[in-house]
Each structure stands twice: as structure tokens, then as C-alpha cells.
Structure 1
Amino acid sequence: MTGLSLGILFKITQKKVTRAYSLVDSSQVSTFLISILLIVYGSFRSLNMDCENQEKDKDGNPIATGSFNNGNTNNSIQTIDSTQALFLPIGASVSLLVMFFFFDSVQVVFTICTAVLATIAFAFLLLPMCQYLTRPCSPQNKISFGCCGRFTLAELLSFSLSVMLVLIWVLTGHWLLMDALAMGLCVAMIAFVRLPSLKVSCLLLSGLLIYDVFWVFFSAYIFNSNVMVKVATQPAENPIDVLSRKLHLGPGMGRDVPRLSLPGKLVFPSSTGSHFSMLGIGDIVMPGLLLCFVLRYDNYKKQASGEVPGPGNMSGRMQRVSYFHCTLIGYFVGLLTATVASRIHRAAQPALLYLVPFTLLPLLTMAYLKGDLRRMWSEPFHAKASTSRFLEERKEGALTMRPCCHHFMLSTDL
């Protein structure tokens, strides 16, 4: 009887361990680590670009008016305003419907455009490594290519490696190469796109949350298919195969190349190879833009005022906790919650449904407690605001913070 009981207990324990392992297997761990590393790396690349532009402004072209840490000397940096934040989910919905209804007609063009963007983005990802490799053997002089522009040896090396990687991906369609290109896209988007304020951040992420929830949960009731999942998982025809058929190169030319799964997502196989864990790059980039914003704000606050005691009886320990670390922990918890929900329900989950609340709510709470909410809500990096005004706003008491919170609620309702 004892042996039978031990056997039953062992089987129950084994089932529980197997279930726990299935919730967090190697593919899920890879997704967690890579997504967090991409956000951290992209945010610091963005901050480094701002610091370099700031140094250039001090050395050569000082700007009397403008924005702090907005990188205005770099024309490739794009700042999202309130109107763009409101209409971006609508534009994304239109693009999703076009891909859903007309995928066969636009798949080749979309694949080529994606490959070009991925080439440039991955070259940007490789650039620091190439600069490190070429620094000992050559000066950082730029080589002229006529109307194409002037490039350093590191830029040429990174672009060549990126082109080579894209060509191998087109020929093989391997998931690991697709992941590498998707990583480059994530880092480039986080580094070159700016959220100017917490207000724009809330508008953008709230709109994308509604977009994600609708197209994952409710699109099947209207279109008889999960639009988001179908577009994300549908492979595209290989351009080499299409070209060989158009040019009538024969049945053997280009017909053995695989269909391509486009780098709009990260996929990682499980340890058993039975399934893949998938995370869209939008679930990395959009929270990543928020983390990039708070990292820039942490840097701005450090440069403007250093360590200043907060209002009321806030402790020094709370003041030392950075917004970046708080929001990054929230992103991790949100991603973990989304993973558990997808395993429990055995269906695709809108990751932003979990990521947006777990990143925005802790950030808003900490900003309110520290007395920075009013400053972060509207144009926190504007150069016209003096450091003394910044210090005065942070030293205001709880009475000042109540109208600030009221303004926040009205803006959110609108």
C-alpha cells in the first residue's frame, strides 16, 4: 500500500513538474532574455546618439532654442506627436487588413521592402562591433561613393555583412537568420523613434492596446478568421522563385528555395522542437519606446538637478530608484503574465494587453510619488524650461500634485 501511494505521489509530482516546465521552457526563456536585451540595448543606443549630438552642438552648432536630448542634428530621428500617436493604430489596422485580403498580390513587394529595411537595420545593429574591429587598423576617415554619399570603413563592413546575411536568409529561410533581422529592426526602431512626453506615450500605448485586443480577440467574429495570427504566421513566396517563374528559367531554377517567414516577429523553438514561441516585434518596440523615453528622462533629471529630495516624506531610497528600472521590471512581469495566459488558454494572446498596464501604471505611480508627473506629462525635455523651474516643480507639496493628477485624468479621458 505504501509503495502504491508513493507511485501515485510520484506520478502527480511528475505531472506538476512537466506542467511547470511546459509553462517556462527554453523557447520562453529565450524570448524573455532576447526581448529585454533588445530593449535595453536599443534604449542605450538611443541615449548615446543623443549624447553624441549634444556634444556636436557644443563643439560646432550650438542651438539656442529647441529640445534637450531630442537629437535634432540627426535628420533620421523621428519624434511622434499626439496626432501621430492617435492615428498610428488606425494606420496599422488598415495595413493589417491589406495584408489579410491582398496578401497574394503584395507579398513579393512587401518581402522586398522588408528585406531592404532589415538590411539597413541589421547594419545599424552591427555598426558598433565593426567600429571596434576596424579602429586599430584604419582611421575613421570617410570614403566617397559619389552621389551615394561618404561612409567609414566600419559602415561599409557592417552593411556588407548585413547584405550577406539577408541573401543567406532569402536562400535558406532559416528561423535564426529571420530572428537576427528582426532584432536589427527592433533596435533601429527603438533608437531612431522618440516619444516626446508621457502624454504621447499614454496615447500611443493605449491605442495600440485596443488595436491588439481587437484584432486578436474579436476579428474572428467579423472576418471568420483571426486576422492578426493569420497575417503574422503566413509565409510569403520567395522572390527568387517568383523571378525564375517570370523569366521562364526552367523547372529547376529557383524552385528549391523555401517560402519566407517575414521578420516581423521573434521565434524560438522549444527544447523538444515540438513548437515555437513567438513574439511580435511590436510587442518589443512599442514598450521599448516608453523605456527609451524614461531612460532619457532619468539622464535629463540627473544632468539638470542631480539627487534632489522629493516632496513630503519621500525617502531617499525611493528617489534613487530610476524610472527605467521600474518600467523594465514591469515589462518583465507583463511578459511573464502574457506567457502564462497563453499557456493556460492554449491560444494566442494580445501581449500588449499585459505589457501596457504593467509598464504604464508603475511608471505613473512612481512619477506621482516622486513629484515628476506634471513635468513628464508635457514636453519634459524642452530647453526653454530652466533648471530652477524644474527644481521648484519637484519640491512642490501634495497640494500642487492634486491638480496635476486631475489634469492627467482629464487628458486620459479625452
Structure 2
Amino acid sequence: MKQTKSLLEQLSVANQLLRWTVLTIPVAIIVGSLVALFLWLLDVVTGLRMQHEWLIFGLPLAGILVYWLYRIGGSDSEKGNNLIMEEIHQPGGGVPARMAPLVLITTIITHLFGGSAGREGTAVQIGGSMAGLIGKKLGLPAADIRILLMTGIAAGFGAVFGTPLTGAVFALEVLAIGVMRYDALIPCLIAAVFADIVCTSWGIEHTHYHIFYKANPFMNWLPFVHRDLWLLAKVIVSGVFFGLSSLLFSQLIHNIKDNAKAYIKIPWMIPVAGGIMIIVLSYVAGTTDYLGLGVYGKSADSVSIVAAFNPDSHISDWSWLWKLVFTAITLGMGFKGGEVTPLFFIGATLGHALALLFNAPVDLFAGLGFIAVFAGATNTPIACTLMGAELFGTEHILYFAVACFTAYYFSGHSGIYGAQRLEVRKLH
């Protein structure tokens, strides 16, 4: 009897696995293709902006266009990632399919005219809206649509960064602080893997980062401990700074949104004011390096994420703060895009500065900041540790975990996603 019951359970598991594979692969194909289109367009407009720096003067007008596009066709779409998370927590009106073209077009507009924004938010919203559309067309029950929305998040995130494992875990971890739901584990992994395959099949190449530092297990006063304890101490201290910078970013972006709505009574004037502020800040900073994604710079001397891994690059100790302010204003004042790539910039440049201060390996600490500031701002330390392994290799995974977990604790209970629920407090 027990053997029969066990056999039936295994058949049920196999049936569910097959069912979710069939449901998830269409989501992955559509999302992977749309993300590939988005990344290609993003490269095109970033190149145009760098060639024609005068485009930044059109940012206030671009803000009006973004506002009216959402006013005409947006409805709840303006909530972005938060709407998808709300629908997963408590199904309501659904995620509209028009969210995908709206966020794609408005993000491209933001980047063309110099807004400091990222790309993950756009990819996640594309994933969520397409998953919601497929679920609705198939007439799936609310419980299944909830899981399908999570696969959309995983597919979008995994495809846009080329990190499918991170995308799968991120979709499970980002919904609530302190808990992970495993009922969508396999569907999310399938979606993220296939979306990444589809995206790269379109010829999209992701940026490669390298950490050349090699750990020396003998740099330790305790021969039986196979870690550099002095370096580990520096990583812990740096993790505190990474977490505090995450907290600063989250609070600043929320405060800017709230104050803009409170003091600027004409809604379309909010992005206009934000565009003017970005133009003025560019002149105050004396550079355009803090516009756009910031993955690469216009010249060899530019401040960028890639440059942060180079110990000989000319990066100011305050480059991370400049990018933080530029991005908080851009997104807080109504422009569209993601927060994650700017968080990579903030973390990598802060890690660069801390490495020089602590006499530590610059490339390692740039990589630690890259993932740890993101971990603190999104409250996803496990996903970000895995991202470190996917992007930089597994040799330094202990340092990745220590930096991400420390940043997570010191980033407080706020985050960049207002719909993220607090299930388990970080300190009891």
C-alpha cells in the first residue's frame, strides 16, 4: 500500500512538472524575445546619447511625454513592479498586457535623453505582463496565475542580466522579507533558464566582469584556518557600508516621490522639474558619466561599472553618491527604468573606494559592492550571493555571502519595492 501511494505521489509530481513546463516555456520564449529587443534598443539609444550629449536638454520634455503616455494608456501600469507583486500577494484586477509596451517605450525615452535609470524594472514588468496575459487567455485559476506571474519575474530578470539561477531565486525571495515560497521553485527555474537561452539566441551579449584576485590561504596568523581572516574582517565592515548606502538610496527615492507629489501640484511638472535637476547636476558634477546605465563610459577615463573593477581607473571617492542622487531624482520624479543597474554602479564604485581605503583587492571589493548594495536595497541576500557566483565565479563565494548578508541586515526594513511584505523581522 505504501509503495503504491509513493508511486502515485511521484506520478503526480511528474504530471505537475510536465504541466508547468508546458505553461512556462511560452512565457520564457515571449519574455526572452522582448527582453532581447529591449536590450538591443537600449544599446542603440545609449550610443546615440553618448554621441549627441545635447540630447540631455530634451529630458524635461521627455518627462512630459512619459507622463502623458502613462496618463493615456497606463491605468495601474504606473505602479510597475509593485503592481505585479501586489497581484501575487492578493489577486485583484490583474496585470495589464499594455504594461509591457508602455514600460519598454518609456524606459527607452528615459535613456535616450539621459535619465539615470536601469533595466531590471522594465524586464520584470515585461515578464509579469506577458505572464498575466497568457494566464488570462488560458483561463487559469488565480493560484496558477500567481505562480505564472512569478515565472514572468524570473524570466525577465534572468534574461536581462544573463543570470538564470539568480532570476529564479530572486522571484521567490523578493516578494517578502524573511520568507521564500517554494511552490514556484521549478516553474521559476524553467522560465529563467529558457528566457536566458532565448535572449542570447537573438545575439544579445551580456557584459562580462572579472575578479582576478586570488586568495592566499597562508595570509593568516592561524595556520589551521584556511581563510584570510583580516580580509574577511574588511569584507564585514564594507558590508555595513553597503547596507547603509542601500538604506540611503531606498529612503531618498521614496522621499523624493512623496515630496514631489506634495509640493508640485501639477503632475506633469514633476518629471519636468526632475529633468531640469538632472541637467543642473550634470554641470555641477562636471561630467555626464552619471547618466544612463553607467555600465560603460564614453572614454577610458569615464566612471563606470566596468572601470570600478580596475585599480588604476580614475574614480572619485564620491562617485557612488553622485550616481545615487542622479538615480533617485530620475526615478523619484517619474521617469521609467529599473533601479538595479544603478545599484550595481553605486556598489561597485563604493567598493572601489573602500578597497583603496582598506588596502584591499579593488576588483574583489568592486564585485562585493556590486551585489551587496543590490542585496540590501531589494532584501534578497541569497539571490545576490548566487548572482556573484554566476557573474564572477565561485572562488570568492564566502565573501559574496558575508557582504550580502551583512548589507541585508544593515539596510533596515525598507527597500525599493513598496509592495514587498515584511514577514520576518531582521532582528527579534
Instruction: Mark the structure with the bigger radius of gyration.
Output: 1
TM-score by length of structure 2 reads 0.31
TM-score normalised to structure 1 length: 0.32
